[in-house]
Amino acid sequence: MKIWILRDYSRCVGCRLCEIECSLRHEGLVWPAASRIRIYESVFGFPIPYTCVQCDDYPCVASCPTKALSVAESGAVLVDESSCILCGSCINACPGRIPRMVEGKRAVIICDLCGGNPACVEACESAGFNALRLVRKPGGEVVKAYLNNPVKASEDLARKLCVF
Amino acid sequence: MFGFWGKLLDIDLSRGVTRVVDVPEEVFKKFIGGRGLATWVLWRELGSRWELIDPLSPENLLLILTGPLTGYYPGIKIVVSGKSPQSNGVVGSTLSSELGVELKSAGYDGLILRGVSRSPVYIYVDDAGVQIRDATPLWGLGGLKLVKELNRLLYEDVRVERGLDTLPSYIYIGPAGENLVRTSVVMSKLAHAAGYGGYGAVMGSKKVKAIVAKGYGPLPKVSDESGFIKLRKEVLSELSNRMRVFRYWGTTEGLWYTGYVTSSEPVRNWTEEWHDVRTFTHEEVERRCWIRNLWSDWGCPTSCMKVSRVFDGVRSYVTDGPDYEMGAYLGSNLGVFDAVSMVKLSALADELGLCGIQTGNVLGFAIELFERGYLTEADVGCDLRWGNADCIMKVLHDIAYRQGIGAVLAEGTYRAALKLGERAGTDLLKYAVQVKGVAVGAHGIRSGLDYPQKIAYAGSVQGGDHTSTAGRPLKSTESEAFAAFLDSAVICLFNTVDTKKLVDYLNVVTGWGFSEEDVYMGGARILTVQRVLLLLGGPDVFWDPREHDENPERFYEPLTSGPKKGEAPKREEVRKDLISYYEELGWDELGIPREETLSRLGIEELAKEVERIKRRVTPNA
């Protein structure tokens, strides 16, 4: 079954426990820069959780010249570290520029949904914030609504409340 | 080394040169990090000439430091320090900022800023090193305007070709810091401030507008990985569950609780500590001002902050909760019992880069003088009476720009009292609620229901700092040694758990194998160095332990209202308590560390400084 991380901007408090748990799960280190989910808080008090939305058409996978990217049963994009050549094609193909090249990593990083049990969702739930929730993947283009530039999205959210 | 790098960036602004300084693990083991490390650096670098150094001169250092638990323990704080323009000693001032994690991710434990830049600059640190950049277009800005401008500039640093990434983190000063106001702060995230100490002015004196960092690497490895993961989970779950009510209301709840229930809230410059005004409660602030009910900093499950906004049709006033301290000092302490006005005042203080506590205190002092006739409308330019929020707002502005009466009040309560007292030809210090140049936090000691230790402020090495209060016994969470440990390992006060667990946490991260005893000993060592530098003091004012290790005069006036009406501490008891506390620390009855204490703590070299204090304080002994 395809799953999906539903992100609720109105509930996100900006604690970044998701980033920490993601980097601990994937890298065994506290390494926010290597987290597959990131919190953008360009206007303080208005954090935006931002990670791969698993587009129906997977433009990143299609763009990869070495076929290092594939789609898992969960719907997640998997990176084959041995064939990634860090060319950046997937970054340019992604409508949200979500794949990231991190110094010290030999392949691009993309959310892999932790094989079905995402560490970020777990962290957010157990802290009682529930800004991230695991749901069945919604079909269609709607997921791409979460790809607006998060630096701007944070500003927009603030502007709406006459703050920015 | 586990948990920290042992590396500080030393930036000489006068010469525009940066070098990396290695700090041996032995120093960390003795002074832990954060406040302790700051104390060590300041003692080593400036100790021999301490009394001669003007805190606002190029010779002073500005330190921005993390601790071994920064990034590992839930929550984030960073320590700002230097020779304080308020106390002339060392204050370890903390604020919440992701800068701590960014610095550590970039490979450094902190920064030392020395000298002075010729023109306004901001400092940019990443894994490629340090850039000192022009900040002329940022100078004079504060609040949202500054954030907007910095966001625009820093967006260019995001390496979008490597994938979209977050903006760097930064701390900054507002106009008050630029104008060397002694009650100014180092700010972050619109509403967070390192207030105690007055380090906004130190940063301003160096012409540094902001310090920005972006790290790309991981934090240092921890010593015991599985132990760390297990303990982290445990502490997270404990904090998440314990803090639910606190999470909902944050410290804003204190506006009502600390006033009505524990009777220890500053009301009209501490002439009272109790109120029953229903328009001045957390519920009222929530109903009228909160636009976000939960807001957290990095790694923090407690989420005690909120976002408040007042929109007057023209502009928005934005701040956090406000937290209790800010709310009480810019509300009840000024006779402002209206939530909306209080939020506006708090937002304005944030925007100007003023400390809510220090500035609220000096404003309360000024209003009392006005009401008593020592200040007049000709001095102030408006009718500075209790509760006149418009006039208070004007004076707040005057302080930040050192205009009119603001130029005197910008010196902070103690120095303003000296100056105005001289003018009036009478002692006005009796209305100044401060200890050793630092205004007292918004927690009174008279009722005994909130801060039970009567020596909390009188014995503190950070003066009126309510987050670093003295208390007995030494080896307990009541003592300042514990506060020194928290500020040195760098843990947020609101995220503490059982002491044993905190020590375990330190051990799984660093591998030091510390006992609780070691932690208190480390705390005592830090306090001892801080105490000595505080008593060295200077160059404008000096402290005499017989006179200044004392509560503000007002705290000896019996409470005039509330459940503890009539209560006040007794002078002899305070003195007795103080001497017992000093005894526990191995200090003599004047609070001067004994020689054997220095050798027990492994800081024998401090004897030279102790000698100089004795020569001043007890010249005939």
Q: Is the pLDDT of residue B613 over 80?
A: yes
In this predicted structure, what is the pLDDT of residue A162? 79
Has residue B219 been placed in a domain? no
pLDDT of residue A43: 95
Mean pLDDT of B536-550: 98
Of residues A164 and B398, which shows the higher confidence score? B398
> Is position A158 within any domain?
no
Q: Which of residues 65-84 of B touch A (CB under 8 A)?
A: 71-72
What does the pLDDT read at residue A139? 87
Contacts of B189 in chain A (CB under 8 A): 44-45
Q: What is the pLDDT of residue B429?
A: 98
- Mean per-residue pLDDT, B325-333: 98
From B173, B20, B26, select the one nearest B110 (Cα to Cα). Answer: B20
Average pLDDT rounded to a whole number, residues B68-74: 98
Q: What is the mean pLDDT of residues B42-56?
A: 98
* Domain CATH number, residue B317: 1.10.569.10
Judge whether A155 lies within some domain. no
Residues of A in contact with B347 (CB under 8 A): none
pLDDT given for residue A72 in this prediction: 97
Note the pLDDT of residue A143: 95
Interface of B with A in 230-249 (CB under 8 A): 236-237, 240, 244, 247
Residues B394 and B342 in one domain: yes
Residue A164 lies in a domain: no
Q: Give the CATH number of the domain where residue B576 resides.
A: 1.10.599.10
- Provide the CB-side half-sphere exposure for B457 (13 A, CA): 27
B241 in the same domain as B141: no
Q: Does A79 score more than 80 pLDDT?
A: yes
Same domain, B556 and B522: yes
Tally of domains within chain A: 1
Residue A160 in domain:
no
Q: Look-up: residue for tokens 């799960």?
A: A25
- Asked if residue B499 is part of any domain, the answer here is no
Write down the pLDDT at residue B621: 79
Question: How far, in whole angstroms, is CA B460 from its chain's centroid?
Answer: 13
Last residue of a domain, one of B213, B245, B280: B213
Averaged pLDDT score across all residues of chain B: 97
Residues B246 and B191 placed together within one structural domain of the fold: no
Taking an 8 Å cut-off on Cβ atoms, the answer to whether B161 and A24 are in contact is no
Nearest CB neighbour to A99, from listed B163, B298, B311: B163
Q: Quick one: pLDDT at residue B243?
A: 78
- Asked whether residue B178 falls in the same domain as residue B262, the answer is no
Does residue B490 carry a pLDDT above 80? yes
Q: Is the residue at A156 inside a domain?
A: no
pLDDT score for B46:
98
Residue type at B416 in one-letter notation:
A
Beta bridge partners of B172: B187, B210
Name the pLDDT band for B602 (thresholds 50, 70, 90). Answer: very high
- This model of the complex carries an ipTM of 0.97
Q: Which residues contact B301 (CB under 8 A, 6 or more apart)?
A: A15, A17, A127, A128, B74, B236, B239, B240, B243
pLDDT, tens digit (0-9, with 9 covering 90-100), for A26-55: 999 999 999 999 999 999 999 999 999 999
The CATH number given to whatever domain includes residue A44 is 3.30.70.20
Predicted pLDDT at B242: 85
Q: With an 8 Å Cβ cutoff, is B298 touching chain A?
A: yes
Mean pLDDT of B34-52: 98
B343 shares its domain with B395: yes
pLDDT digits 0-9 by tens, B552-597:
999 999 999 999 999 999 999 999 999 999 999 999 999 999 999 9
Local confidence band at B267 (pLDDT 50, 70, 90 cut-offs): very high
Mutation site, B164, B233, B509, interface A, largest A CB count within 10 A: B164
Structure confidence at residue A164 (pLDDT): 74
Q: Are B336 and B327 in contact (CB under 8 A)?
A: no
Cβ burial of B34 (10 Å; 0-12, 13-18, 19+) is: buried
Q: How many domains does chain B have?
A: 3
Q: How far apart are CA B79 and CA B492, in angstroms?
A: 11
Residue B498 falls inside a structural domain: no
Asked if B130 and B11 touch (Cβ cutoff 8 Å), the reply is yes
Give me the sign of the Cα torsion angle A111, A115, A118, A119: negative
Specify if A44 maps to a domain. yes
Residue B59 tokens read as: 């010779």
Are B165 and A164 within 8 A, CB to CB?
A: no
**Contact between chains at B296 and A14 (C-beta distance less than 8 A):** yes
Nearest CA in chain B to A17: B299
Q: Is residue A143 part of a domain?
A: yes
pLDDT in tens, A82-129: 999 999 999 999 999 999 999 999 999 999 999 999 999 999 999 999
First to last CA, chain A: 41
Domain residue limits at A52: 3-149
The residue of B222, B298, B351 whose CB has the most chain A CBs within 10 angstroms, and thus the best one to mutate to test that interface, is B298
Cα–Cα dist B29/B330, whole Å: 40
* Inter-chain residue contact A97 with B163, CB threshold 8 Å: yes
Partners of residue B20 on adjacent β-strands = B9
DSSP output for A90-144: HHHHSTT---B--TT-SS-B---GGGGS-HHHHHHHHTT--SEEEEEPPPSGGGG
Name the percent of chain B lying above pLDDT 90: 98
- The CATH number for B44's domain is 3.60.9.10
- Same domain for B302 and B206: no
Mean pLDDT within B189-197: 97
Residue B109's domain comprises: 7-213
Give dist(CA B57, CA B50) in Å, integer: 12
Closest CA to A32 of A40, A22, A41: A22
Considering the domain architecture, whether residues B47 and B157 belong to the same structural domain is answered as yes
- Do B385 and B244 belong to one domain? yes
User: Is the model's pLDDT at B245 over the cut of 90?
Assistant: no
B1 located within any domain: no
